[in-house]
Chains A and B, each alone.
Chain A
């Protein structure tokens, strides 16, 4: 296992389009997190799953954002009707419940033009 994998690494989209990102966690990890990082800022928590259950969502996660983890393995983050303010790095992390260390993927950089 090579760690947390995110695809695509980069995405350029036009305003108003929908985009979907994928995250494959470390295989034995049952917790999966999504964060958003804008330029010059620290990552901000969006949501997390334990297995297939979405346990917490940030207020940052507007109605245009939806995340799923249907079989408790990979997760997708969809943004509908993208806006320029959605331009950011979207980071995925995974961990084992009961442990404190989260492992991050390389991120997906979204640019909305």
Chain B
């Protein structure tokens, strides 16, 4: 079975600083990896996904993530955050195309002026 661990429940950061949100997964089979963002009382919006190919994946809003198979990690990064990036971020994994998503517990990113 797959599982996802987000290593930080809260990440406070100042505006224009870089940020990294950490995600580790476990699976005995190949997986697809995703990062979603959730604003208060909203659904989830896809930031980026890794299916295959280049291990560095670029997404929306200036975010990127790197798939590291040997470390079973998929950390999310942004070189310079904005106040508007304040939200909950979820890492997720699925075993096959179109399968159910297994989510981590979430990381609350709080960007301060």
Contact = CB atoms under 8 A, between A and B. Distances in A.
A73 to B, nearest CB: 17
A41 B105 contact: yes
Contact of B97 (A41, A91, A98, A106): A98
Contacts, number: 64
**Interface size bracket, B side:** 20 to 34
Contacts of B49: 100-101
Interface stretch (B14-22, B39-47, B62-70, B71-79): B39-47
B43 A104 contact: yes
B23 to A, nearest CB: 11
A74 B46 CA distance: 22
A19 interface: no
Instruction: Provide the main secondary structure of the chain B interface.
Output: strand
Given A100-B51, A109-B41, A45 B46 contact: no
Contact of B100 (A45, A101, A105): A45
A53 interface: no
A95 B49 CA distance: 14
Contact of B44 (A44, A95, A104): A104
Given A43-B101, A100-B49, A107 B106 contact: no
Interface string A12-24: 0000000000000
Nearest to A98: B97
B94 A100 contact: yes
A86 B58 CA distance: 37
A33 B106 CA distance: 20
Given A100-B49, A106-B43, A43 B103 contact: yes
Contact of A91 (B43, B51, B104): B43
Nearest to B36: A104
B36 to A, nearest CB: 8
Contacts of A35: 101
B98 A96 contact: yes
B90 interface: yes
Nearest to A103: B46
